[in-house]
Chain A
Amino acid sequence: MQINTDVYPEVGYGSYSRWTNETIDYSASEPLEHSIFYSGTISENVQFCDENNYSYIAEAPNCAFTVTPREIVKGDIFFIKDGYRHFNFNGEWAYNNTYAYNIVTEFDISQFYFDLDKLTVHVYDLSQADGGHAIGNATTMPFSEYRNKTTEYKATHLIRQCSHNGVTSGADSFFKYKNVADYSAVNVVPMIRYVFNDKTTLYLPFCMLNDFANPDWQGPINLDSYTGFGKFGAAMADIYLAQYPYIGKWYNGWTAGTAAQRVTMANCGAVDSFVIKAGAAGQQVAQVNNGYQMPDISTIDTDKYCVPVFVWGTRWDKRIAPFYTDEFIMRYFASSGLRFKVDDVMYIGYMDANGQCNGNYLLEEDLADSDSANKNITDFTGSSYDANIPYVPPVPPVPGDDEDNTDPVSTAGAPFGTGLAHYYVTTVDSQALTQISEAMGSWDIDATKKDLYRNLISCKILKPPAGIPSTPSVFEIYGVKPQYNGADITIPAVNGNPDISFGPYTISRKFNDFRDYAPYTRAEIFLPYCGWCALPSHVVGRSVSVSYFTDVIAGTVKAVVFCEANPVAEAAGVMAYDIPFAAQNVGAKIQAANTGMLAYGKAALQLSAGIGQAVATKGKQGLSSIVNGAFGVAAGYNQLSMAANENYTEISGKAGDGCALAGIDTIIIKIVRPKYGAYTTPPYVPDGFAHTVGFLSMKQAKVSAASGLILCDNVDTSGIGKATDAERAEIKRVLETGLYVNNPPE
């Protein structure tokens, strides 16, 4: 299949700038690697779930999907939609007991209205009111038992659905009214980076098809029965739909007998491999209506409509909850490099020199003065956009002016792999690792390649606080590229150390007096990876933030606590542990194969079961099953049937303890104060204290400025004219032992 990319990118699709004008060939049988590409400033791990309770976790930016079975954890967002029946068109969340909106959140989701960090959370439904877009069926969500769990929710993405009529643009409605009046809302999705086998990269709006009768995510598309949509099919649908600014998804609304329709990607040439067939009534079969021809892009009023727009979800019964705030929406538009108007103010999505967006935006008037790759765009209606921005390697950050030499120096952006060693990063159970181990194991055991195992110098399992910056790469060891199924093995190469900041967190005062500070009040902070760390008490009443600086190679992390830009504490910890390699001469490998271990064909990364116990995860499955599964202990991998050769070398390793990763994963600030429970209201003193004892003052003032009780010190009564000495003495005595000052008579 070929995709003619000459017609791309369209105006304003800033993220397409990496496209080349080449024709991309790829085979439907080969899976595509795709990853979420979106802003790092607003994004957390994007999580959503498929029909098997598998959650997709994309660690932004530019990280591959991981399908990892796990239990629901804090921060997960799930959305089940039975749409319009439960949806309040005013943009408020509607809850239905039958179709549970499984949101792991702080709030009782039986409420109709959420306040997330005091902001209104708008939840938009995925259904369509205009028919054909009904979604869902009667099956309740399997996560209903989590509905009332309390946890903190963070919006990680935005999903909404656009009307297929295309007439009512939710974007328009949103920007005009800061709300949407109906279902025809705008879907804004993060950009997906598709990396084809020839490493050509496309940046397209992310979209997953929904409502498949066959939820086989892995299988290739079955062009005859149209019952399976693998990643390829999804990608094709995405590519098609990405070009159409109005179309959302159709679900479950097509009646039997609807003819199979061929999807055409009119603006990029015919795609003859993708057809979706409607199923019987009630059957959950996705369908794309090819009656909607690709519009003439030049006719689209880009001031008014935002593209691309898609539903994002998995199956109907495990959708992703669309939470957003106004700012979030704006940043999502910006994350695709688009321009948009808010209250007649034009904003431009910020794009860096590599044509990648980070969700930041500029006012149009500031564009020319910025360093954005968008800066030279002057006409958004024509084709003046440069589609071939050359890649510019990121420049490591320069430390700040640091006049007081207290600014920590970030290690982010430090060059990687420029010396003898280079580092690859991937998820624990990625295919790349399996491919590497199988590829290396498939080498003939000869003197040359056997020794290459020694060039595996380190292997760590990390749980960094942020995504590890990386670039697409091919696995190479001492100049040799192991081949898997005749092709190079792609695995991202580390190109930086992730730094990330959290907070600020406000530490409120309680007493608003001396009791808020040492020695009466003390503060501590728990820094994940590092442990507890004392804080100076002057942080009370102020805000603190935490910056993590990491070292991927060493697997270490340093946390620096700032109090309003001043560093006040720091601690070091580990975010990884080693999986050491040890060369062993092993005996009969047939025996090893028979016990479920891979033959030495996977020996490069063979790990013992000890790993699983060393690392605690929140998942139901510990790391061991994942790692062992990836590395061949589990069944499912072809065992290499090799003749027993007692002279080969097996690399094996056993993980040590990784206690640092088995702890609290949340920053906690603990403030220990004098108990104030007996005094329930400010100023937290006994009743009558002010009138009988008085508050400490130590201020110079006229007696007439006071009200109520005052006690003075060393009173000078020389200003009282006609008093006798005895009377002055008495006046002095009373002022120094306690005088109640009333208002003077009128």
Chain B
Amino acid sequence: MTITLYNNSSAYNTLYKSLDKVKEVTAEIKGTCSVDNPTILIDYTGPSFNYFYISEWERYYRVTNRQAGPGQTVAITGQSDPIESFAAGIANLDVMIVRSESEALRSPELADNMIPLESDMQIDKVIGDNVIGSGNGMIVIGVI
């Protein structure tokens, strides 16, 4: 089978990772292995890589182990990355977003106990009109 080798610079918990393609190579499965955690043999010399894609299985994998064999044979073990493998499906999920980096999704009027508050207070003032006014006032005399 043909696999594609990548270098991945994104964190695992990233949707739509930044993948730099290294090379497409032919690979063989070593013995029997799981789809989630396969070990495959490739005949490879070239730049290092930390990520690969198996097209027949439609999955992306993080390289967890590399063992050199005779000649240019390399045995690579990978761990399935369902985040990247099913990115389109994940993107299409309807979810209840509890917290969001985007202010567009923020609900600012909900009390958020994660925002730190100082115990000290700030006093702002709005200065209005002079009501009493200057002058010495008026005298009102009541008579019968």
Enumerate chain A residues within 8 angstroms of B127, measured Cβ to Cβ: 152, 666-668
Q: Given A505-B126, A668-B126, A675-B120, verify A512-B108 contact (CB < 8 Å).
A: yes
Chain A, range 652-703, C-beta contacts under 8 Å to B: 661, 665-678, 683, 685-686, 689-691, 693-703
Interface residues of A (CB under 8 A from B): 44-45, 47, 57, 59, 66, 68, 70, 73-76, 152, 420-430, 433, 436, 455-465, 468, 475-478, 494, 502-503, 505-507, 510-515, 517, 520, 527-529, 546, 548, 552-553, 555, 575-576, 579, 605, 615, 617-619, 623, 626-627, 661, 665-678, 683, 685-686, 689-691, 693-717, 719-724, 726-728, 730-731, 734-735, 737-745
- Is B14 a contact of A68 with CB atoms below 8 Å? no
Enumerate chain B residues within 8 angstroms of A719, measured Cβ to Cβ: 89, 92-94
11 A-B contacts, Cβ less than 8 Å apart?
A57-B135, A68-B136, A428-B138, A428-B139, A436-B141, A461-B138, A477-B143, A697-B98, A702-B93, A702-B94, A707-B104
- Is A742 a contact of B14 with CB atoms below 8 Å? yes
- Is A672 a contact of B122 with CB atoms below 8 Å? yes
Q: Which of B24-32, B39-47, B48-56, B79-87 contacts A (4 or more CB under 8 A)?
A: B79-87
Total contacts A-B at CB 8 Å: 373
Chain B, range 47-104, C-beta contacts under 8 Å to A: 58, 80, 82-83, 85-104
A464, A699, A707: which has the most chain B beta carbons within 10 Å? A699
- Give bound CA distance, A447 to B109, whole Å: 77
- Give bound CA distance, A665 to B138, whole Å: 16
- Is B92 a contact of A502 with CB atoms below 8 Å? no
- Give bound CA distance, A713 to B96, whole Å: 6
- Is B122 a contact of A576 with CB atoms below 8 Å? no
Given A742-B10, A742-B15, list of 20 further CB < 8 A pairs? Answer: A152-B127, A423-B143, A478-B144, A502-B131, A511-B108, A666-B127, A668-B126, A671-B126, A685-B115, A690-B101, A693-B114, A698-B97, A703-B15, A713-B95, A715-B93, A723-B85, A735-B95, A739-B13, A742-B18, A744-B87
- Give bound CA distance, A709 to B105, whole Å: 11
- Is A70 a contact of B13 with CB atoms below 8 Å? no
- Give bound CA distance, A459 to B135, whole Å: 18
Q: Given A506-B126, A712-B95, A724-B36, verify A667-B131 contact (CB < 8 Å).
A: yes
How distant is B96 from chain A, measured CB to nearest CB, in Å?
A: 5
- Is A708 a contact of B101 with CB atoms below 8 Å? yes
Q: Mark B113-138, 1 if CB is under 8 A from A, else 0.
A: 01111101111111111111111111
How distant is B107 from chain A, measured CB to nearest CB, in Å?
A: 6
How distant is B15 from chain A, measured CB to nearest CB, in Å?
A: 5
- Give bound CA distance, A546 to B97, whole Å: 43
B11, B104, B125, B142: which has the most chain A beta carbons within 10 Å? B142
How distant is A469 from chain B, measured CB to nearest CB, in Å?
A: 12
